[in-house]
Each structure stands twice: as structure tokens, then as C-alpha cells.
Amino acid sequence: MNIITNTSRRSFLTNGSKCLALPFLTSLLPANLQAASDKAAKPVKRLLWMSMGHGHMEKHFYPTATGTLKDMKLPPAWKALQKNLAHTTMVSNLTNKQNKQPHEGSEALFSSCNVVGFSGKSRHNSISCDQVAAEHLGQSTRYESMQLNVRPKEDGNGHGGVAVSYRKDGSPLIGQRTPLEVYHALFGGGLTKQQQLAMLKKERSIFDLLKIDTADTKRRLSKGDQEKLEEYTTSVRDIELAISRQQDWINKPYPKAGFRAPKDGLGAEKEMLMMYKLLVTAYQTDSTRVITYRMPDAGLLTSMNIGQSPHTLSHYGSNAALHDLNLKRSTKWLQLYSKLIDMLRAAKDPLDPNGGTIFDNSLVFWGGGLRTAHRNTNVPCLLTGGGFKGIKHGYHRKATEENTPLANLWTTMLQDAGVPIKAFADANGHTRDIYS
């Protein structure tokens, strides 16, 4: 593993920009994946769900007309996306109908669940759509799914909870919170096989100590405590399965890193760009085919030298200064989204027999669970990637029925990726008739 030894900030940022531009090389893949790329009969689909936290002011983000994006007058924030309009589809009138928590848009974004609507529980969730995908698409990859997250210090970021991905029992999958953690997950952290085995043995011994005789213990607990214990034991079982999965992969080498390990201190915007680089690399190395990314909303404002929180900006009222800050924020979000599209389109797909790109074989949602001022109706929804069936990008589409369930989109994405599912959560249809 290469580590940057020159601690000069200027030198590091220069090297970092080179890392972001460097394409992943097929020759860096392990031999088994190189062989798979030669034998693949059809492209592999990848799913990416990205949550930005709080939404946008209507006048900055939502077009008033539908149709071809390049032919309409777009809100001012869209100037940052001008070069990639042809690769974007905006869908309006989608609502996370079941979510009754108006302050935290991301906690229930991908589960389409009422996280406060369970008797006797202050909080509860259900399985998120990415974990449904992981069950079916993650069997042949090192990681069934990956969760990219924000740093713990990102308080008041408009997301809610601690994650966007949730297991069947509603417990959170927190995932990796820094680019360096993701880098080590992809490339092995420079550990030898013996060191990896020793670490797994230690982890297993720790979790053996955490096991509880639940049958005996449950008889002495209240119903509420029994539910908490069941959530705990389910999480432990899931971690045990993850450890077993790592042991199954111990003899399969990690891909070689084609760029240097990232360091802390970049700031949210540069960390996001590095996360983009890493998630594209995760797809190229076939380390996973399912990713969620809980992006740093509050951190992004800090990196822009904006002292207000996302929550404060969502309550803009008639304050002209807050309007201006909201425009800067929305413009930055769309600028970063455009850069993601650039990276996806520039990344060759080693598993595509037709020589396509990661963009060609991906289904990407970029948006959030709140519009603005804590409304979960007509949530921001941008789609990109060539993996959607029947989609022709470059348009603003609007669902005919107001407050169409957002779960309709999750159902469609799962089906388009090959997951055998009839409906997810509260879905009452699909979205292909909206954008095809």
C-alpha cells in the first residue's frame, strides 16, 4: 500500500487531484476478476443510492415546466449541471408517504418506513431497498453492499439517525465514515493473510463474549426490553455472518490500489470527490454492486465557509441572505453531482463485454427525503446512469398522480437491476411509465 509521505498540504492536494483523475486499470484486478471480465456474457448492473440530507428551495431547484431540459428555462442552480443535462432525468411528484418524521429525511428515505409510527417504540425502521438488492446481487462480491457515511461530528446535517441503510430488523448499517476506511476496505489495508486471519480470530472471540443466552434472559425481561435484546442479537448475528464472509474471501487477493491512500483534513467537498473516486473503483473491481452514500450536508456548508446549518437554511422565510446562501448550496450540490456523472462516464467497466463504462451499467439515485422546510412531498429526485430500462435521459418528468409513492422508484430500480421483487414497501406501481 502506498502512503503519501510528503505532508505538505500543497503537495498532497496536487497528488489528490491526480488520484481523482486517474482511471482504474483492468490489469490491477485480481486474476479471477480479469478472467471474469473476459467471460462475462452480459454487463453487470450496479446500484447507487445517494442522500444529501435537507432539500432545496423550489425557486432554485425545481423547473416549472416538463420536457427536454436543454430546451427549457431552468432554475439558477442548474447552471452547474449544464454540461450533463443529457445524462440526467429529474422526476417530480414522488413522496415518501410513510415517513412521518418531517425533520429527518434520510432515516426513512430508502426504507419508505414510518420510523415513529410503532407502538411502544420511540424509533423503528425496516429493511432499506439497498439491502433487498444486496441479498440478490451481492453473493459473488467481497461485500454484499457498502455503506458510505459521514463523520460522527456531522451533527444537525439533515439526515436523521446514524445511517441510511437498515437491516431486516430495522437496525442500522453505519458503514465507513471516511475515505481512508473505504480505501482499506477495498484494498485490504496492507495486511498480510496471516494478519487478516489474526484480526478475524480476534473479532470472532470478541463477539463470542457478546453472545447472550437469550432464551433464558427473555423470560426475565419486559416486552420492550425483549424487543431491544432481539435487535441486539440480530445485529450480532449479522456481524458474525460478515466475519464468516471475510474468512471465505481470505484466499482471494484484494485488487491492487491504483492510487495512494487518502488522508484526513481535506474538508467535506474534497472528501466527497474522493468518495466518488472510491465508489467508482469499488464497482470497477467488482468489490460490490450495491452502494449507499449518506453525504455530508453540514460538512459541505462548512467547507464552503457558510456558518449556517442545513436546518437554518431550510427555514429561509423572506430572509434574502438565507435565499442567497441556499442558492450557493444548491449550486454546489449540482456541481458535485455533475462531477460524479463525469467520473462514471470516464470509468471503463472491466466486466462489460461490449467495452462500456460504469455509467452505462449503473442505476443512480441522487436526492433526498426532504424538499425544504421539512416537507417530504415532491422530494428532490435526479437519476443518472444507463442501467434503467427504457429511460432516455435529458428530461424533467412529472408523475401524473401527486404524491406518487417514492417506493415505486425503489421497486423499479430493483427490478431493472434484476432483483426478483414485485413491490417494495408501500409501492403501488412502477416509474417506467413516467420516464420512458
Q: What is the DSSP string of 376-436?
A: -SS--EEEESS-STT--SSEEEE-SSTTEETHHHHHHHHHHTT---S--TT--S-SHHHH-
The 10s digit of each residue's pLDDT in 96-152 is 988 877 676 788 999 998 887 655 556 678 999 999 999 999 999 999 999 999 887
The 10s digit of each residue's pLDDT in 171-221 is 889 899 999 999 999 998 766 656 655 655 555 555 555 555 555 555 666
Strands 172-173 and 381-384: unpaired
Residue 172: which residues within 8 A CB-CB, separation 6 or more?
125, 161, 162, 163, 165, 166
Residue 208: which residues within 8 A CB-CB, separation 6 or more?
none
Kindly report the pTM of this predicted structure: 0.84
The 10s digit of each residue's pLDDT in 161-178 is 889 999 988 888 989 999
Specify the CATH number for 41-178+265-435; select among 3.40.50.300, 3.40.190.10, 3.30.70.1530, 3.40.720.10: 3.40.720.10
Question: Which cell is 324 given?
Answer: 442567497
**What's the gap between Cα 374 and its chain centre?**
21
Q: Looking at residue 228, what is its pLDDT?
A: 60
Q: Phi then psi for 383, rounded to 5 degrees?
A: -120, 140
Q: Classify the phi-psi angles of 223: left when phi > 0, otherwise alpha if psi is within -120 to 50, otherwise beta.
A: alpha
Domain ranges of the chain: 41-178+265-435, 187-263
